[in-house]
Homo-oligomer: A and B are copies of this chain.
Amino acid sequence: MASESQYIVPVVLSGGSGTRLWPVSTPERPKQLLSLTAKQTMLQLTISRTEGYAGASVSSPIIVANAAHAPIVDEQLQAIGIHDYRLILEPSGRNTAPAIALAALEARPDDILLVMPSDHIILDLPAFHTAISRALPLVSEGLLTTFGIEADGPETGYGYIQMGADLGNMVHKVERFVEKPDASTAVKMLAEGKYVWNAGIFLFRADAYLEALERHRPDMLAAVRASLEGAKREGLHILPEPQSFAACPSDSVDYAIMEREAHVACVPVNMGWSDVGSWDSLHAVSTRDASDNAVRGDALLLNTKNCLVHSDGPRVTLVDIDDLIVVVSGQEVMILRRGESQQVRRVTEAVKGAKPATGA
């Protein structure tokens, strides 16, 4: 059981540098550092996600981020009044298993880590808080726990979790993790009803995570430990020693630990979650007008339906347009058909081959 001195420590992973929201998302300012669905950036929304949680004490957060983003992360945290945090600055990206190990080693052994990607949306916070509370008793006993999103469609873009026996409190044993499926497999899993999406959100004791890492990837744990022993500490910043950290193998927490552990729990939850992994999914989770247009920035829409407009400056005027994605950012204007935002990959590949955009 949770002792009275136990705390939940939010661990926010901000290492991503996805290009699926190009041209707005770039390596210099990836998705989590952008305001996409609200005035707050996705990092700010994530940091604020435990506010009002009443099921346990929540201590100050640990953020693990790309060292290049240190100034903007500090700025965004302080802009929303967060001054008490630890920012671990990765000298290089080694995926989520080492990133979480950095946080677990920084925390106290019996701290309960709430691991959250920094670039997801959760619209129903009470549902999230309830799920945390349901998981807490098993987590306190040492079980690694993941949150499973109740699937509302045969998505092929996510990994799935097959749930087994109910361990109590509507927390289930994990039968197995399933890689991103093809369309027909996704349809079958949806029909069976025992599958949830793997959202990459976890709850576990720091010592339980480190013990599992020691069991499955002692090389990884040794490298991360060495990088922290040689770390520089400057105010709120922790800078792991670069050479040891670079020597750490790169792997996700799913592959390195979760899929190898015999006893992992899953809390199924329906909480308005999205990974905002494409312009289409941003359209889906955004507030929309009566004609289903989602707009950020200055736009003038005349007889226009089902469009996403995202502009960082210029006014975008659409007349008699349906089902278009229009993104204006810096010296780039991108126009796609709604439902085809996976085409961004074609664009970023073509852009690599094209001359750089010119102009004012």
Contacts and interface: CB of A to CB of B under 8 A. Distances in A.
B331 A315 contact: yes
Nearest to A359: B313
A332 B311 CA distance: 10
Interface string A316-356: 11111100101010111111110010010011001100110
Interface string A263-302: 0000000000000000000000000000000000110101
A357 interface: yes
Interface residues of A, number: 38
Nearest to A330: B314
Contacts of A318: 335
Interface in A69-127: none
A354 B300 CA distance: 8
A336 B316 CA distance: 11
A335 B323 CA distance: 13
- Chain A interface, DSSP helix/strand/loop, else mixed: mixed
A360 interface: yes
A35 to B, nearest CB: 15
A326 B332 contact: no
Contact of A315 (B297, B332, B346): B332
Nearest to A304: B335
Contact of A331 (B314, B336, B347, B355): B314
A314 B335 contact: no
B335 A347 contact: no
A5 interface: no
A312 interface: yes
Number of this chain's copies in the assembly equals 2
A358 interface: yes
A43 to B, nearest CB: 23
B346 A335 contact: no
Given A333-B333, A354-B300, A359-B298, A347 B313 contact: no
Given A351-B300, A359-B312, A332 B317 contact: yes
B300 A350 contact: yes
Given A300-B347, A300-B351, A319 B336 contact: yes
A309 to B, nearest CB: 9
A335 B335 contact: yes
Contacts of A330: 314
A298 B357 contact: yes
Contacts of A298: 355, 357-359
Contacts of A337: 319-321
B343 A333 contact: no
A332 B340 CA distance: 25
A343 B359 contact: no
Contacts of A324: 335
Nearest to A325: B319
A346 B357 CA distance: 31
Contacts of A347: 300, 302, 317, 319
Nearest to A328: B333
Of A314, A317, A358, A359, the most chain B CB neighbours within 10 A belong to A317
6 contacts: A302-B350, A311-B333, A316-B334, A317-B332, A319-B346, A335-B335
In the A-B complex, list the 6 residue pairs whose CB atoms are closest, starting with the nearest: A313-B359, A315-B357, A313-B360, A317-B334, A319-B343, A316-B333
